[in-house]
Structure formats: C-alpha cells, structure tokens
Structure 1
Amino acid sequence: MRIHFIAIGGSAMHNLALALAHKGYQITGSDDVIFEPSKSRLEAKDLLPEQFGWFPEKIQKELDAVVLGMHAKADNPELLRAQELGLTIYSYPEFLYEQSKNKTRVVIGGSHGKTTITSMILHVIKYHQIPVDYMVGAQLEGFDRMVHLTEENDFIVLEGDEYLSSPIDRRPKFHLYRPNIALLSGIAWDHINVFPTFENYVEQFRIFVDSIVEGGSITFNEEDPVVKKVVEASENQIRKLPYSTPDYEVVNGETLLSTPEGPMPISVFGKHNLSNLAGAKWICQNMGVDEADFYEAIATFKGASKRLEKIAEGKNCIAFKDFAHAPSKVMATTTAVKEQYPDRRLVACLELHTYSSFNPDFLKEYKGALNLADEAVIFFLPESVAIKKLKEVTPEQIMEAFARKDLKVFTDAESFHAFIQHMDYSNTTLLLMSSGNYGGLDLGELTRSIENV
C-alpha cells in the first residue's frame, strides 16, 4: 500500500510511519517543521521529506490512503488536494483501528497513568515473548518504536488518548478504537481548551465505556469515584472488573509489593504507580498471563520514559523528572516522592506551559498540589502565555491558586536555571515536573552537579 502522511513529524505520526515502512508499505510524508528525535529516526529509514513545507503535487490519485496528523490545519494545501481527488483520508486513530479491526483490541484510557499502564503491560508481554501489536505514548526500553503493526498477531495494545483525532475529526482518539478489553485508570479534568467544563470532559469517558464491544470488559479503578460512577452507570453489556491499590510498604527508600509469595522489591513507587500496576496485572491476566508470571516480569520494570524517571543520584541527593503537568498528577507524583524519601528535603519544581495551566479558572485546580513539598517552585515564561493568546498570568495569581504563601515563582529561564544549579543538594530530593523542557535547562550539567554531592 502507498500511504502519505500529512504532518509526518509528530511523535505519534512518525512512529506510525516507521511501523508501516517496517511492514512493507510505501510511505511518503510532509511537514513544515520536524524536531528531534523524529527527524533523525525518519532520516535513518529514508522517510524524511526532502523539503519542509506542504506540496499538493505530492498528493496523487494513485495513493491508497492519506493519514492526517493533528499538527496540520483544516485548510492544509495537501489535505485540500486529497479531498478534491476523493482519496481515503484517515486520522491517526482511524488508521490504527483499520489496521486492527480483526484483532482483539486492548485499550488503556484515563486522564493519567495510561502511558505507564500500557508500558507495564508491554514490558510483561515482551518478557514472556508473547507477540502483540501495540501503540504507546512513550519510548520504552527494549522497543525500537512506539508503534508495531503486523498481519498475524492476535492482540493489539493501544494507549487511549482522549484528545482530538484530527483537524477535521473532533472526536477523541479513544472513541474510535472499539475495544474488546478496556481499562479506565482515573478521570481528572484536562484539555480545558477542548473540553471547557468538567461535565463535558467526563462525558467523553462515558462514550468510551459505551464504545466497548458487546461481551467485552472494562477493568476500572474503583478508588476513583468519578470512574466508578461512569462505569457503574453504563448499560453496555460488558463485564465490569474493579481494581484497587495493592498492599505495599516502603523500607529504607525501597518499595516492597505484597504478593502471594511474600514482599517483592520493585523499581516503581508511589500509590498511583502501585494502582497502575494493579490495573496492568488484571489486563495481562485477561490476555492470558497468570499472576505469578506477571510478578516475575514486573519485578524488572524500570518505568516509562519521562514518567518519574531518575535522572541523577549522589550520596545525599536524588533527582527525578516527570511528565506531570495536570493537577491530580502533580499531587500524586509529589506525594509518591515524599513517601519514598520521607527523611529528605523535597524540592518540587513545576513548569506551567499548557493551555489549561494558564487558564485562571483551571489554575484553581492546583490548590494543595504541592503541599507535601518542603520547598515548592513554579516556573513559567510569560511569552508562552502570549503565544497562546491568553490573558497575562501573574505570580500573585499562581501563589493564590496553589494556596501556598512560600511558593517561589520564576518567570525567566535564567533565574530558574541559576536557582536549580546553585541549590544546596545535601539530604535533598529534587523533583522536576513538566511536559516541556524547563526553559532549556541543561540536565546533563545538573546530573553532574548532583552526582558530586
């Protein structure tokens, strides 16, 4: 098949392009800008466009399909040409469904935890050499790509994102997968630019549960009251399988998970990650992995990229970075780190840079999120607010929203970097949280500083 990608450089899009090229498809693509690591990975497989920009002449009637990325606009010249020629146009999730409609689809949904849960499942499956197709939102150790597609594998494991499918398809991605086996980890308001009210956001998860094929199953976090309400209210003819956080204890900075064979040390920590582990266990069991085999495999799981990832460790200091940016995840991550290292000073730094985090109404959701940090720091760039064409956000607004009078707020990268680099790291845990890059913070230099403490 001949497939053209409009906006091939995206994290998900370029991984799908690589997967299809590996499968033997003829792939072309366009984009107006492509960043690393997408650029190098596409170039290595001879899929990098010769020129950046949009070229309608690339769209020929001989194409079997066009895959449209979210980065493109509805008036994209290549999209308009494809529409004019009457070509088949797929959004990213539509194409994944098309590739998997004859497989058993396992879809992991939730406002938070879905990447970690999907990663845990894939780690266990790979450990036991069970062949599956997959799509996950983070690069995993031991996996070449974030997407893998075959003709022969029976299962496909999909991370179910609730964000929009494409510029011309405003449905959330996870509405299109039609799962046979589904999981719902938690519901906490996010993507305020698309879902302006909490009720509107929750409705997307109701639709997801109702989209599960008849006779399928939903494994759900019964400790989340919104999730429980949504699942129990659904009249879909499916099995409803609750899970909750397993018993565990933290001893000298090590998390010990209670198992039928006794306490087992694991690398991931924090209540939210142990809850994720419980959900992953039930899904793996639904896929034919027994409990003992799950525990054997999960003992070697180190975590998903950017999810509570240890970046440095010295004699008296340890540093983590985490993708956390939504209020519930910020609170869960801060709590987890403090629980793991209760006798160390916790310095928690959060970068605000998403559309939601600059909205005055949504900012209030962060109240108490950093309360367990001994020292709490917020970093944001006013120009990020301006680029999003939002009203100015002041440090005073942020301090009021977080309800913490001793909150340190930095509004320029240089001052924030100086604070991080010159901090006294003795007996300290540093936690960096963002889906951005902390204003270009040199993590290598930071790592060297900490390792010398």
Structure 2
Amino acid sequence: MRVHFIAVGGSAMHNLAIALKLKGFNVSGSDDAIVEPSASRLKKHGIFPSEMGWDAGRIHPELDAVILGMHARADNPELLKAQELGLKVYSYPEYIYEQSKDKLRVVIGGSHGKTTITSMILHVLQKNGIDFDYLVGAQLAGFETMVRITDAKIIVIEGDEYLSSPIDRRPKFHLYHAHVGVISGIAWDHINVFPTFENYVEQFSIFLKSMEPSGTLFFNQDDEIVNSVINTDQSSIEKVGYAAIESITKQGVTYLLHQGREIPLHVFGAHNLYNMQVAYLVCRKLGVNDQQFFAAVSSFRGAARRLELLGSNEGTSVYKDFAHSPSKLKATVQAVKEQFPDRELVAVIELHTFSSLNPDFLSEYKGAMDRADVPVVYIDEKTFKQKQLAPYDEDTVKAAFGNDKLIFFNNCEILDEFLSCINYKGKNLLLMSSGNFGGLNLESVAERATAHAT
C-alpha cells in the first residue's frame, strides 16, 4: 500500500503515518512546518519530507490513498491534484475506520476524560497481555506511538468530537461506528465549530446513532446533559449507566474499595473515579476479570499532562494539567483541593483555545476557580493576534469568572516572577493549559517551588 499524508506533522497524523510504516506500508508525507516531537519521530522512521512546503508533483496515480490533516487548507495544491486524479482522499478518522472494519471497535467519547479513560483501558489490556490496536490523544508510558494499526482483533479509540478534515466537517467520533461506546460527560466546547450549546449536544445524539446496532454504550448517569441525550435516543443499542467507583482517601492517597480490599492508586479526583469505573466496565466487556483489572490499574500513573506530578516534597506538590475548558478546569481544581484539603492551592489557568478566548464563551467559566485559594488567569497577549480576536482586560476576565480574588497576567515574565515570590510551604501549585504559558519552563517553576517551600 502506498499512502501519502498531507500535513503529516500533526500530532495524530504523524503517529498514524508511523503506525502504517511499521505495518509495512509505503508512506510519504508533506507539510509546510513540522515541529518537535513530530520532526524527530518522523525522521527516525524515514518519513520526514525532503523539503518543506506543498508540491503537487508528490501526488501520482500509483497512490492507494491520500490522508488529509486538519492543518491543510481546502485549496491545498496536493489535495487539488489528488481530487483531479480521482484518488481516494481520507480524513485520518476515516482511514482509522478503513483499517479497523474487521475489528471490535471501542470508542471513548465525551467532552472530558476521553484521554484518561482510553489510557486506563490501554494500560490494563497491555498489563494482561491482550493484543489490541489503539488511537489515543497523549503520549503514554510504555507505548512508543499514539496510534497502533496491526492485525489485532480489538481497537480502542479516543473519540474526539472535533471536525475530521478541512473538507469533511463531520466530528471524528461519528466515523468509527463503535461496537462499544462511552460518553463520559457533555459540556459545551469548540464554539468556533458548534456555535450553540444545542448544536454541540446534538453531536452526541448522532454518535449514538452511528454505533453498530448491537452495540453497548456506557454513559455517565450522574451527568444531567448526558441523561437528556440517552432519554431521547431511539436507537437499538444497549445503554448502561455508571457512577464513580467506590473509594476512600487517606493522607493524600486514594484507595479503591473492592471486596474488602483497599487498592492504592497513583491518580485521584472525583473525575478519575468516574473514569476508572467506566474503564472497568469496558475492560470487563473485553474479557478482563476483576482480579486482572484491579491488579493492573493500581500501577496506572495517568496520561501525559493529566494531573502530571512535576515535583513534590513533604508539604508541597506541583501538577500540570491539560485542563482548558470550563468543566475540565473546575474538575481539576476540585480534585487537587479535595485530595489535599489542608493545603492552600495556587491554581493557574492559561486561556489559550479559540473557545476560551471568545468573549461570548468566557462566562462559561463562572465559578470554575472558586475552590482555588489563589486563582490566576494568564493570557499570552500574542494569542489574541494569532487567533484574530479582540483582546480584553482584567476586569472582563474577573467578571466572567465571578471571582474577586482572581489575579490576571498577560506577560509570562511577570507571571514567572509572581510565582517565584510565593512561599509554597503547605501549598500546592496547579498549572493548567493546552498551550505552553508563553514558553514558561514549567519544570523549573516546579523545582523552584519545591526547593523554596520553607
């Protein structure tokens, strides 16, 4: 098979390219810019383009498939040439489905928790020697790539609700046709694509209709919006509700309670207890018994940037997290505060996405930082220009969050100076962003915080 990737440098795209190369495909790719870690990984596997930029000459009739990434534009010259030649052009979710038609497809959907639930399932399956393919949105310990495509009979897919490609405006998770599905929760996001709350919620109703008729859906029964979707669905799939797995917390460690045993965990927070319960149900569906699940999940340390511990000492812990939407932000702040109730919490959120920076959406953050003792919002002033949005000031942010304690920064050097002046003894620091805080070295921030907690 000869496959060409347009915009091969994307996170999911370069991982799929590597997965197909490892399967024995002849893989080529193009992009106008490729950054790390994609560049090094593509070079390692001999897929890095010889020249940057688009070249219609790369497209020829011998190609079996062209895979189009979201970074490309609809007028991309390579895409236009592929269409002119009548070649089959896939979005990457379409091609994942193409490669998994004969597999049992597990699709993890929801506005939050997708990566963690998928990661928990992969961890348990791997620990128990079960062969499987996967697509996950974060780099995981013990997994070389974020995508695996082989002859395995099972594939576990993180089902993103964002669009499939510049010429395919369907949400990715509609294209996988799950046998086993999950909806972890629903909270409005991606307003640049789904301009109304109702339009966003509708995508999850369509997801249910896209599932195989004999499929099973596990849904968060404590989420009011999820229940509204379930109650109006007329499809023939089996629908099974779930709640948080039973647990206790002692001295900053969460323990699962199962048949009289206390099983210590490396992860914590109410949201992760929901995540773990549905991971348990999915694994049971895939043939994993209770003993196998609990023995494996006790060693799960989380996905990258999901409450990832950057540093700690006896009285201080520093975490970074991918939280950026209102629901993720609120759940993450609450998790750290409840895990360490005797410690003050300094919580910093970078508003970085199109949705979070849109003034029409900003009010969705109301109350999201209320559990933090020192709530901080950072916006890189350059981000407004990059996303072509009108900047707003500190008063607008404070009013939207509804928090008079909130501190606002739009300069990373001043933010860094502020964080360096805090005595972190008896305090935790939580750094949340889908960006990079204007290039701030978070490892250095963590080292300084834990070293100077006196």
Q: Distance in 2 between matches of 1:81 and 1:420?
A: 52
Deviation at 1:447, TM superposition (A): 2.9
Q: Assess if the C-alpha contact under 8 Å between 1:164 and 1:172 holds in 2.
A: yes
Residue 43 (structure 2) aligns with? 43
Q: Assess if the C-alpha contact under 8 Å between 1:110 and 1:184 holds in 2.
A: yes
User: Normalising by the residue count of structure 2, what TM-score does the alignment of the two structures yield?
Assistant: 0.98
Q: Please state if 1:324 is matched with 2:323.
A: yes
Q: Assess if the C-alpha contact under 8 Å between 1:351 and 1:434 holds in 2.
A: yes
Q: Assess if the C-alpha contact under 8 Å between 2:29 and 2:47 holds in 1.
A: yes
Residue 170 (structure 1) aligns with? 169
- List alignment gaps of at least 5 residues for structure 1: none
Q: How well do the aligned residues superpose, as a CA RMSD in angstroms?
A: 0.9
Matches within 5 A, 1:27-426: 27-151=27-151, 153-426=152-425
Deviation at 1:393, TM superposition (A): 1.7
Matches within 5 A, 1:430-449: 430-449=429-448
AA matched with 1:375:
V
Q: Assess if the C-alpha contact under 8 Å between 2:424 and 2:450 holds in 1.
A: no
User: Normalising by the residue count of structure 1, what TM-score does the alignment of the two structures yield?
Assistant: 0.98
Deviation at 1:426, TM superposition (A): 1.1
| Cα deviation 1:317-353 (Å, max 9, x = unaligned) | 1100000000011000000000001101100000001
Q: Distance in 1 between matches of 2:246 and 2:285?
A: 22
- List alignment gaps of at least 5 residues for structure 2: none
Q: Distance in 2 between matches of 1:426 and 1:125?
A: 40
Show structure 1 runs of 4+ deviating over 6 A: none
3-state SS in 1 of match to 2:43 = helix
Q: Assess if the C-alpha contact under 8 Å between 2:380 and 2:437 holds in 1.
A: no
Q: Distance in 2 between matches of 1:99 and 1:71?
A: 22
Q: Assess if the C-alpha contact under 8 Å between 2:264 and 2:298 holds in 1.
A: yes
Q: Assess if the C-alpha contact under 8 Å between 1:3 and 1:27 holds in 2.
A: yes
| Cα deviation 1:266-311 (Å, max 9, x = unaligned) | 1110000010000100000111111221111100100011111000
Give aligned pairs, total. Answer: 452
Q: Distance in 2 between matches of 1:448 and 1:346?
A: 17
AA matched with 1:147:
V
Q: Assess if the C-alpha contact under 8 Å between 2:423 and 2:449 holds in 1.
A: no
AA matched with 1:199:
E
Deviation at 1:423, TM superposition (A): 1.9
3-state SS in 1 of match to 2:361 = helix
| Cα deviation 1:22-51 (Å, max 9, x = unaligned) | 000000000001110000000111111111
Deviation at 1:383, TM superposition (A): 2.1
State the percentage of identical aligned residues.
53
3-state SS in 2 of match to 1:269 = coil
AA matched with 2:95:
F
Deviation at 1:361, TM superposition (A): 2.0
Q: Distance in 1 between matches of 2:402 and 2:383?
A: 23
Q: Assess if the C-alpha contact under 8 Å between 1:350 and 1:377 holds in 2.
A: yes
AA matched with 1:73:
R
